[in-house]
Amino acid sequence: MKDTAAEAITECDVAVIGGALSGAAAALLLRREDPALRIVVIEKNEAFKRRVGEATVEVSAYFLCRVLGLTQFLTQTQLTKNGLRFWFANRETQDLGDCSEIGGRYLSTVPSFLIDRSVVDEEVLRRAEEAGAEIWRPATVASVALASGGYQTLEVKTGAGARTVRARWVVDASGIKAMLARAHDWLEPNTRHRTLSAWSRWRGAGDWDAAELTGRHEGWQDSYVGIRGTATNHIAGDGWWGWWIALKGGDTSIGVVLDQRCADWPDDKMPVGEKLRDFLGRHPAAREMMAGAEFVGGDVHFRRNLPYCSRLQAGDGFVLTGDASAFLDPLYSPGMDWIAFTTIGAVRLIRAWRAGEDLAPLLAKHNGDFTTSYRRMFEALYEDKYDYLGDYDIMRLAFRLDIGLYYLFVARPVFSDGIEGFAEPPYAAREAGPFFALMRGYNRRFAAMARERRRNGTFGRGNARQRDLFPGFNFRVPYLLKVIAGGLAGWAWLELTEGWRSWGRRKQEVVEQPAAVAGPEVLDYAVTR
């Protein structure tokens, strides 16, 4: 533990609760911009435990590489991600070769990574300490007393005994523990999106590019030029999806997320790892690629009621970052993008205080932007998404629109404007209104058409033996507009050929509520087998 102060009370400018990515990044950026700032990072773990394997997308990759300066570290210690893919099945599919596939045809042109978070978190925390932040670990924050415009008081338990920290600012980077939001009753569960997840680290999982697959499945390599194994592979089912993320060293992170209203998680006493294998095994792609694989004992996890958001994001003396601020959905890996935006937002507030600026309008904008961003991201991308993500015909259109619009309106400004591109979180700006309305519109219509397909027995009819392999994405506006236009044309055709059947049909409300709807779990269950 790095705690050399002899006094019982430690005074500093900024106290950071949590030393993982968002907390360590905030400390690093603050010290880098203002070396005179006194910063204490309080981290409960002596060493970071292995976490879910995580895929970055383009914005978070920019944050890691060009903002934090981790390019060389990531290329040496982590895998470069080759886009993302979806695999679909129905009653006609017998094996992997029969599954319908969505994804790029070539290697990805914009950098992103498949990362082991424990390794990355340790490196960022090391750099924060190197930059001059004081690191206390293992140490636990027992309580925080907030005082608007004054000093915040933290009671901390360390190996050397109880300590008191007085800090002008508290950065809550405590992850899903969401210490401040829970303590002050700011945390609101998103009951419109009741998802659960199970995941584990696996050894011996199959290779998507193995030579034997070419011999086993006709045309397996003929249609594809890139590398499937270092993509984020998604197994798509009705009301659920699974992820498959290869990690440096040979392990694979495999997990599933399901909408509790649409799909059932096994309710028996079987170990979570075995439930995960059996659940994913219903899909031919997962069944073939998991044959012979074993989950790592002690690295198996289960969590209900994933999404939530804090009503308050910041005040004069505190700011929430990363999962302590909100969590939405793992699909499309938005979590690390959220870390990037909230962390940079926190740094800007503290720098504004340091410069003597009037904080009131800045705090109002910060709170408004991030609560708006969360709501709009949910409504544009995730509300009722699980109604249609298991249908190849619909999902291939949604995927092109989702990714094309993300590139055009979220990722491209960051790469064009640098750190200024993080000035406002996604969907928050007034100019983003039409973009948000478009995404919300097609997402709702795709969900309605999927529900209609279930009624007439045609859901998933295209899930066998089809491939939608597009050239891949870049930031050229004409290309992105072409991708988006193709998706819009496909949407219009669906409306004319079958969508009209659902016009005016009201969505059936779900009456039955899960017992655990009160809120997201504080911590996931980690089991040994």
- pLDDT exceeds cutoff 80 at 7: no
Q: Please, which residues bridge with residue 120 across strands?
A: none
- pLDDT exceeds cutoff 60 at 326: yes
Structure tokens at 179: 């210490």
The whole-number pLDDT of residue 268 equals: 83
The DSSP result for 376-411, as a single string, is HHIIIIITTGGGTTT-HHHHHHHHHHHHHHHIIIII
Structure tokens at 198: 């199970």
Band (pLDDT 50/70/90 cuts) for residue 271 is: very high
Q: Which CATH superfamily is domain 1-78+116-189+310-383 in?
A: FAD/NAD(P)-binding domain (3.50.50.60)
Average pLDDT, stretch 83-91? Answer: 96
The whole-number pLDDT of residue 521 equals: 45
Average pLDDT, stretch 265-289? Answer: 94
Q: What's the distance, CA 68 to chain centroid?
A: 19
Contact 333, 386 (CB under 8 A): no
Cα separation, 211 vs 221, in Å, equals 9
Q: Per residue in 42-53, is it b (16+ CB within 10 Å) or e — as a string?
A: bbbeeebebbbb
Residues 167-219: pLDDT tens digits?
999 999 999 999 999 999 999 999 999 999 999 999 999 999 999 998 899 88
The whole-number pLDDT of residue 473 equals: 85
Cα separation, 513 vs 199, in Å, equals 24
The whole-number pLDDT of residue 525 equals: 35
Band (pLDDT 50/70/90 cuts) for residue 53 is: confident
The DSSP result for 455-484, as a single string, is HHT-TTTT-BS-EEEE----S-HHHHHHHH
The burial class, CB within 10 Å (0-12 / 13-18 / 19+), for 315 is buried
Cα separation, 46 vs 471, in Å, equals 45
Which residue did the predictor score with more confidence, 523 or 392? Answer: 392
Cα separation, 381 vs 384, in Å, equals 9
C-alpha count within 13 angstroms, C-beta hemisphere, residue 355: 13
Band (pLDDT 50/70/90 cuts) for residue 6 is: very low
Average pLDDT, the chain: 92
Run of H or E including 144: strand 139-145
C-alpha count within 13 angstroms, C-beta hemisphere, residue 342: 34
- pLDDT exceeds cutoff 60 at 2: no
The whole-number pLDDT of residue 510 equals: 38
The residues, ordered by sequence, that sit 6+ positions from 279 with a Cβ below 8 Å of its Cβ are: 198, 256, 265, 266
- pLDDT exceeds cutoff 90 at 334: yes
In this structure, what DSSP letter does residue 2 have? Answer: -
Contact 449, 394 (CB under 8 A): yes
Dihedral over Cα of 391, 393, 396, 397: its sign: negative
Q: Provide the residue type at 422 as one letter.
A: F
Architecture of domain 80-112+190-307 in CATH? 2-Layer Sandwich (3.30)
Average pLDDT, stretch 324-344? Answer: 97
The domain segmentation of the chain, as residue ranges, is: 1-78+116-189+310-383, 80-112+190-307
Of the ranges 222-231, 403-412, 493-502, which one carries the lowest mean pLDDT score?
A: 222-231
Structure tokens at 386: 């699980």
Q: Provide the residue type at 109 as one letter.
A: T
The whole-number pLDDT of residue 84 equals: 94
- pLDDT exceeds cutoff 90 at 13: yes
The position carrying tokens 């994405």 is 473
- pLDDT exceeds cutoff 80 at 508: no
| Three-class DSSP category at 178 | coil
Cα separation, 231 vs 247, in Å, equals 11
Cα separation, 248 vs 236, in Å, equals 25
Contact 265, 525 (CB under 8 A): no
Full-prediction pTM beyond 0.85?
A: yes
Average pLDDT, stretch 328-356? Answer: 97
The whole-number pLDDT of residue 528 equals: 29
The whole-number pLDDT of residue 219 equals: 84
Residues 360-416: pLDDT tens digits?
999 999 999 999 999 999 999 999 999 999 999 999 999 999 999 999 999 999 999
Cα separation, 254 vs 274, in Å, equals 12
Residues 107-166: pLDDT tens digits?
888 989 999 999 999 999 999 999 999 999 999 999 999 999 999 999 999 988 999 999
Cα separation, 163 vs 141, in Å, equals 9
Residues 444-475: pLDDT tens digits?
999 999 999 999 999 999 999 999 998 888 89
> Which among 155, 154, 157, 189 is positioned nearest to 170, based on CA atoms?
154
Cα separation, 365 vs 35, in Å, equals 27
